[in-house]
């Protein structure tokens, strides 16, 4: 800016010096003075050498004392070369015309206000650091620039008019608004808008602002060419007025619209019985909107302020309303309150009010809103609430668990019973947290099926364990839910009911366990029943037919079970006294350890004995339902007893025979010797000699029998070696008499000389029994007894030994007899047999590692039996 003030120092002072001494003195004085000056002063000679620089120059221009009268300025400060400063210096040096520049010295980052004066021998430069001022100026420029921009951007049109009435400024919006008038800058307001002067308060406001400094606001209509309503604000300024104006044509129209709506609202308020209100927060004064209906049960005039309401609002609602008002005053937010009020006639009416605080500059000044009478609605709601509450109470009282879910599967309600059981709060049903109420093993299926139901809309139905919070027990529940649908079939919500089935379930489980136990016991009893070594049977109590029979009893009877069941006991066991026994039992008298004897129809010819017990079995009514029988066959036992008695007798006879044999042995020996002497006598007549020979032969037989009887009785302790011939001959000898009497011929052939290592007596006992049986089978008609002995191999085991076969042409055996001959006490000879012979023989043969087999036939012509006894060489028999 060229009009900035310059420094005051007068450089011409130096040039006005006179006289040498005084001149020197003045120079010193001047130099000192100059060095104190706040401006920097530098002098250059025509060679651009610095001839003078004061202290400020040293500071500002970095000129040091050594620089003086030395090198040229441009050498010292090459950065100055080519700058505007250099050009100015040189111009002054040349032309002798002073110059002034404001110069930004880049290297030192300073603004310098510089005056350059010509001198006789060069130039003098005065400069001042104006960096601060320059910065402020730039800032001011920037600020006004910004202000300009604000004015340009403002929505208001802005124009300034000077005191002569000329437009000096119009912002963009003003230019736009008044575009039809062209460029107005420099033109006269009153000339440009003459027609308007007569109208409204235009001139009045302008004059007041311009000459009296009073601002004015007004609205006015400007006809063609503007044709618009303007809202105008005139503000006095230092050199005229500033006008802010705005096109309000739209707003004016809106205002009319608003007025129309207001009237409409009035009507509505009347018909809808609405009161609109506006309350001044500071004073509490209430203003009611036009058309407000006196909804409060009192004439509106009786309610001039907020305070007057406290008299009609029911007391308990006063603090509630206070609190709400405080809220909206603080925040400006909409509040809604239903509150009961006492009407002038004493009745209670319900008023719904909604409103909010109107804030100006963040401060709430007014409360605005409306109130309506909702008494009727409230009554309905109350009815609704009470009925809903009633259902809720019913639901909560329900011992079953009741719950509700949203269509997307969230659980939104659980009755008190369910909450108590699970120890849950309603929040515990959020998300899937409720799952933790279930037994861990059931959670997966519970959620899986729930998701399935939610996805498909199908009923939810499962049994799962829910954990009872009280004792941590998991109880079984039956959980069911059904969707409740609207008219279009959309699911509104799910309704669920859980029923505690734990008792039922555990009872069922218990029953199941018990059944299993019973079944197990039954199976056990069945096994015992079947495998018991006694006969067991069950009969009906009327006809005494077999209902059940165990294996042992079936064996005793000798028929398969299915051929026994259904038949009468009297048919199978036609025993004397049996029907009477059964009748007695059927009458309720049990029979214990009764002895029965006789033949069964299935085993004719077999006299048998049984120990029986019969017990009645009662039904629930105390009637005999069945007869249970326990049958112990004691035939063999009785036979054994008989055999024992027999063998006792035999043993006694045996002992007697043995002692007799022993006793007669000596006389026999004497007789033998005597006969020998007689036989050797020469004087013996020939016929006598024949008798003696016969006597000797018969005597030898007697001796033999005697020794053999003794031997039989003696129990061998050790096995001995003996040939088959010796064994067989000894036995045949014993039966010589019987064989001859029975018309039986004996054919014995021995094809082996091998000896057997055996208990001689035992084997003889076997042979004795086989030969005796053969003789029995051939009596009385006689026949042939064929005995053979030969070396042989036992085929199944491949062992070498001797085989002795005893064959007879007797009556043979039926397959039934054949099957049982090795049983102890089995005999077909009634009292003449013991039935022990073959049983004992098998035992002996087994001890010798031998084998006893047979073939038998009842063929009319080729009847007979062959017993085959194999005895191995190698084996050592067991003692
Ligand atoms: P017991 O000779 O005392 O009857 P065993 O045990 O010796 O007893 O024989 C049992 C039964 O075997 C005889 O009762 C008989 O019916 C039958 N038996 C044995 N050997 C023969 C045989 N050689 N011929 C026909 N039946 C025989
Ligand atoms: Mg026998």
Tokens of 60: 């500002």
Instruction: Write down the architecture of domain 254-381 according to CATH.
Output: 2-Layer Sandwich (3.30)
Residue 827 C-alpha to ligand 1 middle, in angstroms?
6
Cα distance from N-terminal residue to C-terminal residue, the chain: 157
Q: Given CA atoms 556, 559, 560, 561 in this order, what sign does their dihedral have?
A: negative
| Fold agreement (17-134, 715-872) | no
By most ligand atoms within 8 Å of CB, the mutation choice from 636, 642, 773 for ligand 1 is 773
For residue 775, give the ligand nearest its CA: 1
Q: Which of 821, 825, 840, 852 to mutate to test the pocket of ligand 1 (most atoms within 8 A of CB)?
A: 821
CATH topology of domain 154-247: Beta-Lactamase (3.30.450)
Are 353 and 336 in contact, with CB atoms under 8 Å apart?
Answer: yes
Cα of 833 from ligand 1 centre, angstroms: 8
112 within 8 A of 103, measured Cβ to Cβ: yes
Tell me how far the alpha carbon of residue 640 lies from the centroid of ligand 1, in angstroms: 17
Fold held by 532-629: Beta-Lactamase (3.30.450)
CATH architecture entry for 398-500:
2-Layer Sandwich (3.30)
Probe ligand 1: pick from 735, 776, 808, max atoms within 8 Å of CB?
A: 776
Atom of ligand 1 nearest to the CA of 840: 6
CA of 772 to the centre of ligand 2 (A): 6
Residue with CA at minimum distance from ligand 1 atom 14: 827
pLDDT of residue 712: 55
Ligand 1 pocket member 834 (CB < 6 A): yes
Alpha helices for 757-836 (secondary structure H): 760-778, 815-820
Q: How far apart are CA 713 and CA 658, in angstroms?
A: 7
For residue 485, the CA-to-ligand 2 centroid distance in Å is 98
Q: Does 866 sit in the ligand 1 pocket, CB within 6 Å?
A: no
Closest ligand to C-alpha of residue 841 is: 1
Q: Can you tell me which atom of ligand 1 is nearest the CA of 826?
A: 10
- Which one is the CATH code of 715-872: 1.10.10.10, 3.40.50.10470, 3.40.50.2300, 3.30.565.10? 3.30.565.10
Residue 780: asked if its preceding bond is cis (omega within 30°), the reply is: yes
Contact by Cβ (8 Å): 417, 396:
yes
Which CATH number among 3.30.70.260, 3.40.50.9100, 3.40.50.300, 3.30.450.20 corresponds to the domain 17-134?
A: 3.30.450.20
Dist CA 177 CA 165 (whole Å): 19
Cα atoms found within 13 Å of the Cα of residue 763, Cβ hemisphere only: 30
| pLDDT the model gives residue 650 | 65
Write the residue with the smallest CA distance to atom 18 of ligand 1: 773
**Would the CB of 828 count as within 6 Å of ligand 1?**
yes
User: How far is Cα 669 from Cα 704, in angstroms, rounded to an integer?
Assistant: 11
Q: Whose CA is nearest to atom 3 of ligand 1?
A: 833
Ligand 1 binding pocket includes 817 (Cβ within 6 Å): yes
Taking the C-alpha atoms of residue 493 and residue 403, their distance in angstroms, rounded to an integer, is: 10
Model pLDDT, residue 15 = 47
The beta-carbon contacts of 550-559 under 8 Å, at least 24 apart in sequence, are: 553/629, 553/631, 556/600, 556/631, 556/633, 557/600, 557/602, 558/600, 558/602, 558/603, 559/602
What ligand has the least distance to the C-alpha of 814? 1
Q: Which ligand is nearest to the CA of 832?
A: 1
Kindly list the domain boundaries of the chain, sorted by start residue.
17-134, 154-247, 254-381, 398-500, 532-629, 634-709, 715-872
Closest ligand to residue 852's CA: 1
Q: What is the pLDDT of residues 149-207, one digit of tens each?
A: 666 656 678 888 888 888 888 887 888 888 888 888 888 887 877 654 455 557 778 88
Instruction: Please give the Cα distance from 536 to 629 (Å, whole number).
Output: 6
Q: Which residues of 344-358 are buried (b: 16+ CB within 10 A; e: fewer)?
A: eeeeebbbbbebbbb
Which segments of the chain have a pLDDT < 50? 1-17, 196-197
813 lines ligand 1 (CB under 6 A): yes
Q: 7 C-alpha vs ligand 2 centroid, how far in Å?
A: 174
Which letter, b or e, does each residue of 673-683 get, where b requires 16 or more Cβ atoms within 10 Å of its Cβ? eebeeeeeeee
Which residue's CA is minimally distant from atom 13 of ligand 1? 827
Ligand 1 atom closest to Cα of residue 864? 24
407-455 pLDDT, tens digit each = 899 998 888 888 989 999 888 888 888 999 999 999 999 999 999 999 9
Number of the ligand 1 atom closest to the C-alpha atom of 827: 14
841 lines ligand 1 (CB under 6 A): no
Q: Is 824 in the pocket of ligand 1 (CB under 6 A)?
A: no
């Amino acid at each position: 800016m060229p009009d900035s003030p310059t420094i005051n120092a007068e450089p011409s002072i130096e040039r006005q010096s006179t006289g040498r001494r005084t001149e020197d003195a003045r120079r010193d004085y001047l130099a000192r003075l100059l060095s104190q000056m706040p401006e920097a002063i530098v002098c250059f000679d025509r060679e651009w050498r610095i001839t003078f620089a004061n202290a400020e120059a040293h500071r500002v221009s970095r000129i040091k004392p050594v620089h003086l009268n030395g090198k040229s300025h441009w050498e010292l400060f090459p950065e100055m070369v080519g700058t505007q400063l250099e050009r100015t210096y040189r111009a002054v040096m040349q032309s002798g015309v002073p110059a002034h520049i404001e110069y930004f010295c880049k290297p030192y980052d300073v603004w310098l206000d510089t005056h350059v004066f010509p001198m006789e021998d060069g130039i003098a430069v005065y400069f001042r650091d104006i960096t601060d001022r320059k910065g402020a100026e730039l800032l001011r420029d920037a600020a006004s620039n910004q202000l300009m921009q604000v004015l340009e951007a403002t929505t208001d049109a802005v124009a300034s008019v000077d005191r002569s009435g000329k437009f000096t400024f119009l912002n963009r919006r003003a230019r736009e608004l008044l575009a039809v008038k062209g460029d107005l800058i420099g033109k006269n307001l009153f000339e440009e808008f003459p027609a308007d002067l007569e109208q409204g308060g235009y001139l009045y406001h302008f004059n007041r602002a311009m000459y009296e400094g009073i601002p004015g606001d007004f609205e006015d209509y400007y006809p063609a060419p503007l044709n618009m309503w303007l809202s105008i604000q005139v503000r006095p300024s230092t050199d005229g007025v500033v006008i802010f104006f705005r096109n309000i044509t739209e707003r004016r129209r809106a205002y009319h619209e608003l007025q129309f709506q207001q009237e409409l609202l009035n009507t509505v308020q009347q018909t809808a019985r609405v009161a609109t209100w506006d309350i001044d927060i500071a004073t509490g004064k209430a203003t009611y909107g036009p058309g407000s209906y006196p909804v409060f049960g009192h004439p509106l005039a009786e309610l001039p302020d907020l305070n007057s309401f406290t008299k009609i609002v029911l007391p308990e609602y006063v603090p509630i309303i206070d609190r709400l008002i405080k809220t909206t005053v603080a925040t400006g937010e909409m509040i809604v309150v239903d509150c009961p009020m006492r009407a002038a006639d004493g009745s209670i009416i319900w008023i719904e009010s909604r409103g909010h605080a109107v804030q100006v500059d963040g401060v709430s000044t007014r409360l605005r809103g409306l109130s309506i009478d909702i008494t009727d609605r409230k009554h309905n709601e109350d009815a609704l609430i009470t009925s809903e509450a009633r259902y809720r109470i019913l639901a909560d009282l329900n011992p079953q668990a009741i719950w509700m879910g949203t269509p997307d599967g969230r659980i939104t309600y659980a009755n008190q019973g369910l909450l108590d059981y699970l120890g849950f709060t309603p929040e515990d049903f959020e998300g899937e947290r409720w799952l933790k109420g279930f037994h861990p093993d059931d959670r997966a299926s519970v959620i899986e099926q729930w998701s399935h139901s939610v996805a498909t809309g199908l009923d939810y139905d499962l049994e799962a364990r829910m954990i009872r919070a009280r004792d941590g027990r998991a109880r079984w529940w039956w959980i069911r839910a059904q969707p409740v649908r609207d008219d279009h079939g959309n699911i509104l919500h799910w309704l669920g009911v859980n029923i505690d089935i734990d008792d039922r379930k555990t009872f069922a489980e218990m029953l199941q366990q018990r059944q299993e136990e019973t079944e197990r016991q039954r199976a056990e009893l069945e096994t015992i029943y079947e495998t018991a070594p006694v006969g067991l049977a069950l009969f009906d109590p009327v006809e005494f037919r077999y209902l059940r029979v165990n294996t042992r009893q079936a064996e005793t009877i000798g028929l398969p079970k299915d051929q026994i069941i259904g038949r009468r006991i009297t048919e199978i066991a036609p025993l004397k006294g049996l029907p009477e026994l059964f009748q007695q039992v059927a009458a309720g008298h049990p029979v214990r350890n009764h002895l029965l004897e006789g033949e069964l129809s299935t085993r004719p010819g077999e006299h048998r004995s049984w120990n029986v017990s019969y017990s009645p079995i009662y039904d629930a009514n105390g009637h005999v339902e069945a007869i249970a029988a326990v049958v112990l066959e004691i035939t063999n036992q009785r036979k054994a007893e008989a055999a024992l008695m027999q063998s006792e007798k035999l043993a006694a006879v045996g002992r007697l025979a043995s002692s007799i044999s022993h006793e007669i042995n000596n006389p026999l020996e004497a007789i033998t010797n005597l006969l020998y002497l007689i036989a050797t006598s020469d004087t013996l007549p020939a016929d006598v000699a024949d008798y003696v020979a016969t006597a000797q032969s018969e005597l030898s037989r007697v001796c033999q029998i005697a020794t053999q009887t003794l031997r039989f009785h003696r129990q061998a302790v050790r096995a001995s070696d003996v040939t088959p011939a010796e064994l067989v001959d000894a036995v045949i000898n014993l039966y010589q008499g019987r064989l001859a009497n029975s018309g039986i011929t004996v054919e014995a052939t021995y094809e082996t000389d091998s000896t057997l290592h055996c208990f001689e007596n035992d084997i003889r006992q076997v042979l004795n029994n086989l030969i005796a049986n053969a003789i029995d089978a051939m009596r009385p008609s006689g026949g042939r007894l064929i005995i053979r002995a030969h070396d042989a191999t036992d085929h199944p085991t491949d062992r070498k030994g001797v085989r002795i076969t005893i064959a007879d042409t007797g009556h043979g055996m039926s397959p039934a007899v054949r099957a049982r001959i090795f049983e102890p006490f089995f005999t077909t000879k009634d009292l003449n047999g013991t039935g022990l012979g073959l049983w004992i023989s098998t035992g002996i043969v087994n001890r010798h590692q031998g084998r006893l087999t047979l073939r038998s036939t009842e063929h009319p012509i080729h009847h007979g039996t062959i017993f085959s006894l194999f005895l191995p060489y190698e084996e050592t028999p067991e003692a």
